Chains A and B, each alone.
Chain A
Amino acid sequence: MPPADIGERLRSLPGGSAVALKLDAREYADHYFAVLNATLRDVGSEANAHVIYITVTNPASFVWSLAQALDVPPDRISFVDVISHIMMNYSNPLPNATYIETPRALEEIMLRVDYLLRKFPHPRSIVVVDSLNALAIHNPRELLSEFFHIFLTNLKSRNVLNLILLTSDEEAGGLEQMLSLLVDETIDVGR
């Protein structure tokens, strides 16, 4: 799908959907920015929308700086930052972020998302996982499959729109297959 069309496609998705966004590793920077644009600005700017952005690839401060460049208002986005602690880069926490000490605490991710959904109830809640590959670095495959199965099933039942970023490379084949069983659709960014 051309990057320019992703936003419109995501906006058309009903709550309770789960979609994998597959980025091409060779054009990662362009695709990553296009996906951020689509998820944070296009979907996040919908009426009554609230994005919960789970950052494992990059610290929340990095994603937030990109979001600011896209004019995303701070009250439209909350971060679950799973990487800053382990990087020992936690000295300036963002007010709209909650921090988890390690990407291995997958249950903590579920609990923080649950907390944010209860704390900020919105008719249109969107959860973004950035990314499956980064979580796979820290967690064994079986654990990750169990996590995604429970996590996505729970969020779907709560009418949340789920977007999971995945970078295609040789290592990611098995992950992609696992995810394809759990999501409704896989969007190939750029194809």
Chain B
Amino acid sequence: MTIGKNLIIILTVFLITNISYAVETKEEFATEKPSIKLHKKSGQSKSMAEDFVRKNKKWKIGLNPRPEDKGGDFFVSVGTSAIAFDNSFANFGDARQDAFDIAFLQSKKQFIKFMGQRISTNIVNERKQGSYAQPPEPGTSEMENLMDEMSSFEEGKKLRTLINLKLDQALRDAGYEDPSTPEAAEEAEKIIKTKEFSKSIEAAAEHRIAGFQTYKVFEISDGNKGDISVIGLWSNKLNLLADALSTGGDIPSGTPKKALMDQIPTQNTDEDIIRWAFSYGARMTTDENGNPSILSFGHASPLFDDVDEWTDACDQAILQAESFIAVFANEIASYKENLNKAQNTKMFEDNANLNNLKSETKQIKNYYKKLETSGYIDTAGSEYLDSIEIQHPASEQALECIAAVGWNTSLRTSGENIKNTNVAAEKITLDDEQETDETKEEEEDEDGTSYSGESDEADDDF
């Protein structure tokens, strides 16, 4: 009788409410604090994400200054997409994944914009302060030395140097023979704001995207319509980890060292099951041996509830997770390689993809396909970690198998040709802003019943 009563209460609560969900990754690397929040309105994941950034984290969307000893400045951006699924729910897993892909692309584009603005500001300031006062003349031995020296430059500096060289040429074309005069600096500010030059800067900014990854995902659904918002984060430390991943160099100090198996959710608690439900795509981490690694999650829906169909769906989810590893690693490696090779900004302009990519599933899939097969890194040997079969809270018909797959650089069989030990890596110090908030909310509000859960605690040496 008590069981019956409980079931009625549960059913009533569940049916009268609408749903929103969120999962985040802890500062740069680890997952933390997934939450589920029941919500009546759809289309609000973006404001929830923005509120989270501004109110909960006290961050800004865009550039966030942070002391160098804590990892330096970082960028936060938000992208949103509707979940386009039909009523059959047979493609529910695909539809959610597609929405995530679009939202993630949007957040990347926003990052490129912010990074571009920062590059422009830095260049203008450097010129005004005279720190770019005596640029080498083209064709001279000084210029040759600079080009040689550039390979050892830190990524951001190299990029700014190449843009400055292009700017010098633009100034000369505009009649400023000496680009270091105050007048030339003023003209440089105007040139840098032109549409054409902005494009070059954004193409260059795109080449700093290695390391950009999902920090937290918000998802809202009323059972029919839903949307996903992705908070993306980029920091120097993440960029250096991306460097280590693509080149086999040292990992930044302070990155977590934990077995990949221990970094995925368990299936033992409700909170962890929710974490599974909202884990998307690929992200960087390190394994217990300190190897730069990628954790990836794939989603697929069975045609209906049946052992054979679940088996097929889980096979699909594993394949999808494996392909995300290849996409993620190759994207990082391709940008890093372009940066290494670049002798001028044309390399960036010719190889910029993201800003021109339409926020459409087909285009994104096509882009992913090209990356997956580009062969910058061989991600063969990825390791299946675990999978879970769930019924999504959005609908009892929405079944999903979610699979987790891991890969680390010790499994890499190629890509060593671009090895370039990252000497700057160990200079980055531990970001000790560990979240220890273990609060569990359960509240009633006018939109319905709200819940929040939490993930595992971050590793001690993170």
- The yes or no verdict on A and B being binding partners is no
